[in-house]
Chains A and B, each alone.
Chain A
């Protein structure tokens, strides 16, 4: 059974009178441990698709199944439980909790899921080069360092699926490369599947698969 199955997925945003279809008929399958890059023009609906897969938002038609569980059948609490246990999220904005230290941010999701493994957390911190900053607060870190914390937090609970939306969009090229390198390495080690939204064709080329979103469909 594939990790992620998307069938005939459709989503439209309604603002006032206006209905704007974003995803028309998306089909997609992702196996466990597989890495996938999604590209597409700005406004094509990449983030929207990622949010739907991450059970962060509801859809209009079709179905998403994560490890066999259909998302349409889950209520708010069920979706939250699914996110906590099975999904790691990394966004363009780093989304760290400003009042928690680096170490606390790193462990946050794993602790909430009741799966904090001190050895793994220590290893993560070390491999992401964060050991020195463990007791600092996010605003005392550079952008690249902050994004490394976010990646660590997303992988700390060893989720089967990592969702990343332009994780390096805010970083310069060299930093961006190094952060991505680390992320791919860790994804590989944990055996997580990766669903990465990116603008970079070069980066997309390095993943197992590369899909392009255009006019609400996967091309």
Chain B
């Protein structure tokens, strides 16, 4: 019985392959977009796990020398004095043209050593003892092996990408730096009563654990953005599924009744329909996962570049099919299908065997649905409003966005119905009146697709506005901030001084860039010291300032802080800022500092040097006439043997920063376009699936004397008009979304607020695209109508029952 019944249910799809295609495609698109985002997130996260080893090192305090290298004797002295430190020699080696960071460590004391311990497969072998062994992550290991060094390379997933770890003796040889160390790791357990650092090793500076956590927090918010977008695309895809499943149930109502009348129990029918759905969901879900994998593979390089560039987190993303996100994708497909089919299944459960006109009418009651949608929509908007008015935080921001989108989607059909009713009242002539009324009657069948379009358009406007605003601000900010024509980085302080002295007579100004890494209120912060120069006075972008701000900074009577610091610590000009024990300055200004996760302070250089005498003096901004930049750069490289990356001209920095920026949002943009495509597809499928119900409506008009071309044109116009109205509603929604992203979510996630810029030109393009999508979607059904032979139209009357 089950087999026959299932075969009967499935026979519907054989007769309506287009519906089947739509359903599977809808599911596949929804699952695909979702899976792509999951895959990207999962891979990025996996990469962080790999980078943990490196981050772990960053969490320990370090001892460094002012000139960059520590003589081995100094290490020995420290050990003898009771300091528990582990030596590290760090440098770069080239393998096959790519630089690999080589970390030479002491296997007995280094905190990294535990990641390198022999595994079961190599029991008994202690590769470090072999002294010819490098440890690296899979990709890096491959690179080193292919360079044919003759070294043994052992793969350890824990080693950060682009890094190799070796015994310090081997590192000395490979780097050709015998007898020197880069830094010392201060181990966590230190004996009591050991002499102070100054007494044992006066040349060394202690650097406290760095803010690796901030980078991770930032990447997490990047994931959050992506996940939100993925969910949005999934929702848009679900609208398609909901539409087609609903229609498949609606169209098979007669079949269900016949099966019931013949003797199929209601529960059995429900179970079989459920089994059918789940099978389709698995099929669509599997295709979706494949699609998602393809999308992710295409986007992953940009994601990697984004993360690396913007947050400095080392990620080396290779895409692998992970059981985790495959399961998540299939789970979402099943869940989504059930969600989309819930209404159909519910109706099926309650389907009376006997069709009565009254029962039919009750299920189709349109006005009740519209009223319910309007109420639920308003409730959703109300919730969103009260959440944002009453609560702070990232979660509140996302609840607001979700409530806003859901509310607007629910309000769309009632709003459109209202507009169409108004149109009908204003219309002159019977055909126009019929067209308005008929469009209104069509609304329930199309509303899901239109909701999908609304969300896709709003997401497009919202994210587009955010990206463009970001770019506008960022570009302007770069122009202000990167004023110096040339940026030079020396290798040691001594060289820095030499470069400074050499440059001084040759250029307009040499502006040292010196900073101390410290903690303020227990949080990592950087204090920069600047010399008084019109470069800062004229260009530095200040968001808020006290009177005579630059004079007060120059005379060490005040400090500038970046926006992140101001927002997180709740500081404003006039507030006192404790910079170090016994050192307080009033805040005199706040400057914007996009892309920087850390707290930053600017004070007069002299004041900084007084408190932190040892800060490195290796970086300079150079003011010089633009036409002299190139010769000067070449001169610097020749004279001091500086590598190319140590002498950077401003234009290159800007280009690089903008490129990183563009990558950041490329992923967002790609997902956005895909979502819009999916929404267009939703309209097409709704129109196509409504087609069978369309003919009986149009046939009487045709019989009354409207030509087929005229009817076809009206169908096209209807679709375009609905898309146009939807776009008008999407505009305020998208702008609200943009506002939420810029003013709430960005501030919570990144700590800075972006001004919102409007780009009406983009809206026009998007509106045109939406109309085009709607016209394209309606073109196929309209063409079919245009070509429908009169005999088929006549059948409508023959079939009248």
- Assembly CA distance A128 to B373 (angstroms): 52
The answer to whether the Cβ of A44 comes within 8 Å of any Cβ in the partner chain is no
1/0 per residue, CB under 8 A from A, across B264-292: the answer is 11111000000000000000000000000
Mark B1-37 against chain A: 1 for CB-CB distance below 8 A, else 0: 1001100100110111000000000000000000000
Residue of A nearest to B14 (CB): A99
**Stretch from B255-263, B427-435, B765-773 contacting the other chain:** B255-263
Which chain A residues numbered 68 to 84 have a C-beta less than 8 Å away from chain B?
Answer: 76-77, 80-84
**A83, B11: Cβ atoms under 8 Å?**
no
A121 at the interface (CB under 8 A from B): no
Minimal beta-carbon separation of B202 from chain A (angstroms): 90
CA distance in complex: A4, B502 (Å): 117
Q: Which of B14, B254, B258, B264 contacts A80 (CB 8 A)?
A: B264
Query: With a CB–CB cut-off of 8 A, which chain A residues contact B8?
Result: 97, 99-100, 104, 108
Shortest distance between the CB of A109 and any CB in chain B (Å): 5
Most B CB contacts (10 A, CB to CB) among A83, A99, A111 go to A99
Contacts of B216-275 to chain A: CB distance below 8 A: 254-255, 257-268
- A112, B261: Cβ atoms closer than 8 Å: no
Q: How many residues of B contact A (CB 8 A)?
A: 28
Whether B791 is near chain A, meaning CB under 8 Å from some CB there, is no
CB nearest neighbor in B for A51:
B354
Most B Cβ at <10 Å: residue of A51, A54, A108: A108
Report how far A100 CA is from B354 CA in the complex, Å.
21
Q: Is A57 an interface residue (CB 8 A)?
A: yes
A57, A108, A112, A137: the one contacting B354 at CB < 8 Å is A57
Quote the shortest CB–CB distance from B711 to chain A (angstroms): 22
Determine whether A21 belongs to the interface, using a CB cutoff of 8 Å to chain B: no
Q: How far, in angstroms, from A113 to B2 measured CA to CA in the complex?
A: 10
Is B1 within 8 A of A114, CB to CB?
Answer: yes
Docked CA distance A87–B354 (Å): 16
Complexed CA–CA distance, A109 and B264 (Å): 9
* CB–CB B258/A97 < 8 A: yes
| Closest residue of B by beta carbon distance from A91 | B261
Q: How far is the CB of B86 from chain A (nearest CB, A)?
A: 75
A98 at interface by CB-CB < 8 Å: yes
- B801 at the A interface (CB under 8 A): yes
Q: Which of A85-122 contact B (CB under 8 A)?
A: 85, 87, 89, 93, 95-100, 104, 108-109, 111-114
Chain B residues contacting A114 (CB-CB under 8 Å) are 1
Q: Which residues of A contact B354 (CB under 8 A)?
A: 51, 56-57
Which of B257, B267, B799 is close to A77, meaning CB atoms less than 8 Å apart? Answer: B267
Check B11 against A100 for contact (C-beta < 8 Å): yes
**Does B255 contact A113, Cβ atoms closer than 8 Å?**
no
Would B260 and A80 count as touching, CB distance under 8 A?
yes
Interface size of A in residues (CB-CB distance below 8 Å): 33
Q: Is B358 an interface residue (CB 8 A)?
A: yes
A202 at the interface (CB under 8 A from B): no
Q: Chain A residues with Cβ under 8 A from B257's Cβ?
A: 95
| Chain A residues in 8 Å Cβ range of B263 | 80-85, 87, 109, 112-113
Q: Is the CB of A80 within 8 A of B266?
A: yes
CA distance A82 to B260 in the complex (A): 12
Given contacts A83-B263, A98-B254, contact A112 B5 (CB under 8 A): yes
Is A20 an interface position by the 8 A CB rule?
Answer: no
Known contacts: A83-B263, A84-B264. The answer to whether A95 contacts B1 by CB under 8 A is no
Q: How far, in whole Å, are A56 and B257 apart by their CA atoms in the complex?
A: 11
Query: How far apart are the CA atoms of A113 and B262 in the complex, in Å?
Result: 9
Contacts of A170 in B (CB 8 A): 801
Report chain A residues within 8 Å CB of B49: none
Q: Is the CB of A111 within 8 A of B262?
A: no
Rounded to whole Å, the gap between the CB of B5 and the closest CB of chain A is 6
Asked, given contacts A56-B353, A114-B1, whether A99 binds B11 with beta carbons under 8 Å apart, the answer is yes
**Is the CB–CB distance between A77 and B11 below 8 Å?**
no
Q: Do the beta carbons of A77 and B4 come within 8 Å of each other?
A: no
- Measured between alpha carbons, how far is A100 from B11 in the docked complex, in Å? 6
Asked if A96 and B4 make an inter-chain contact with CB atoms under 8 angstroms apart, the answer reads: no
Q: Is the CB of A95 within 8 A of B264?
A: no
Q: Given that A57-B353, A112-B4, A112-B5 are contacting pairs, would A98 and B15 also be in contact in the complex, using a CB cutoff of 8 Å?
A: yes
Q: Which residues of A contact B265 (CB under 8 A)?
A: 76-77, 80-81
Cα distance, A57 to B263, chains bound together (Å):
13
How near does chain B come to A112, taking the closest CB pair, in angstroms? 5
B355 to chain A minimum Cβ distance, whole angstroms, is 9
In the bound complex, CA of A170 to CA of B255 (Å): 20
Closest to B255 in A: A97
- Complex Cα distance A54/B353, Å? 11
Q: Which single member of B4, B261, B264 contacts A56 (CB below 8 Å)?
A: B261
Instruction: Give Cα A68–Cα B135 distance, bound, in whole angstroms.
Output: 85
Whether B15 and A95, one on each chain, are in contact in the complex, defined by CB atoms closer than 8 angstroms, is: no
Instruction: Determine how close the nearest CB of chain A comes to the CB of B6; give it in whole angstroms.
Output: 11
Q: Is the pair A95, B358 in contact by a Cβ cutoff of 8 Å?
A: no
Task: Let me know if A174 is at the binding interface, CB within 8 A.
Answer: no
CB pair B266 A112 closer than 8 Å: no
Task: Tell me whether A15 is interfacial, beta carbon within 8 Å.
Answer: yes
Q: With a CB–CB cut-off of 8 A, which chain B residues contact A56?
A: 261, 353-354
CB distance from B422 to the nearest CB of A (A): 33
Q: For residue B1, which residues in chain A have a CB less than 8 angstroms away from its CB?
A: 84, 112-114
Contact B254 A108 (CB under 8 A): no
Assembled-state Cα–Cα distance A111/B5 (Å): 9
Determine if B353 and A89 form an interchain contact, defined as CB atoms under 8 angstroms apart: no
B466, chain A: closest CB distance, angstroms? 48
Q: Which residues of A contact B353 (CB under 8 A)?
A: 56-57
- Whole-angstrom CA separation of A114 from B262 in the bound complex: 13
Q: List 19 A-B contacts (CB under 8 A).
A: A56-B261, A57-B353, A77-B265, A77-B266, A80-B260, A80-B265, A93-B801, A97-B11, A99-B8, A99-B16, A108-B4, A109-B263, A111-B4, A112-B1, A112-B5, A112-B262, A112-B263, A114-B1, A139-B799
Residues of A within 8 A of B (CB): 15, 51, 54, 56-57, 76-77, 80-85, 87, 89, 93, 95-100, 104, 108-109, 111-114, 137, 139, 153, 170
Please give 11 more A-B residue pairs, beta carbons under 8 A apart, in addition to A84-B1, A112-B262.
A51-B354, A57-B354, A76-B265, A77-B268, A82-B263, A83-B263, A97-B259, A98-B15, A104-B8, A113-B263, A137-B15
